[in-house]
């Protein structure tokens, strides 16, 4: 779904470096999410935002921060990258309808921390 884009798609960085992953959406959704995916651990929520002024920690927020610059943009930062942050990162958006919520995912950013 090209309505949710992530940049970069792949990134290699070194331990201790600060990096930012960006997510943009043209779906007009209020809700945005950042997940990481690791083999055997599935999908884990890092941070989420229900609107521009709302930021919430997920289950694994330590070592990460986010910024919701606009309804359409939600950035994830690793202030000081470490090797166990090597993972596939997904951004998602949703627009809560009555009793149901479909999340639309970006293509993912593959991050390798050396």
Partner 1 sequence: AQRVTQPEKLLSVFKGAPVELKCNYSYSGSPELFWYVQYSRQRLQLLLRHISRESIKGFTADLNKGETSFHLKKPFAQEEDSAMYYCAPQGGSEKLVFGKGTKLTVNP
Binding interface with partner 1 (CB under 8 A): 1, 31, 33, 35, 40-43, 45, 48, 90, 92, 94, 96, 99-103, 105-108
Query: How far apart are the C-alpha atoms of 46 and 66, rounded to whole Å?
Result: 9
Q: How many helices (H) and strands (E) in the chain?
A: 0, 11
Query: How far apart are the C-alpha atoms of 109 and 114, rounded to whole Å?
Result: 16
38 or 79: CB nearest partner 1 = 38
CB of residue 16 to partner 1, shortest distance in Å: 30
CB of residue 12 to partner 1, shortest distance in Å: 19
What are the structure tokens assigned to 65, written together? 């921060």
21 or 106: CB nearest partner 1 = 106
What are the structure tokens assigned to 12, written together? 């290699």
Q: Tokens 């942050």 identify what position?
A: 85
CB of residue 48 to partner 1, shortest distance in Å: 6
3 or 79: CB nearest partner 1 = 3
1 or 79: CB nearest partner 1 = 1
Residue 36's CB is within 10 A of a number of other CB atoms, namely 23
């Amino acid at each position: 779904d090209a309505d949710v884009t992530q940049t970069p798609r792949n990134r290699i960085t070194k331990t201790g470096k600060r990096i930012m992953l960006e997510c943009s959406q043209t779906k007009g959704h209020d809700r945005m999410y950042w997940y990481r995916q690791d083999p055997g651990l599935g999908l884990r929520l890092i941070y989420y935002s229900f609107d521009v002024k709302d930021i919430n920690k997920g289950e694994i927020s330590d070592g990460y921060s986010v910024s919701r610059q606009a309804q359409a943009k939600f950035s994830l930062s690793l202030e000081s990258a470490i090797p166990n942050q090597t993972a596939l990162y997904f951004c998602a958006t949703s627009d809560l309808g009555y009793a149901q919520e479909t999340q639309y995912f970006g293509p993912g950013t593959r991050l390798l921390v050396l």
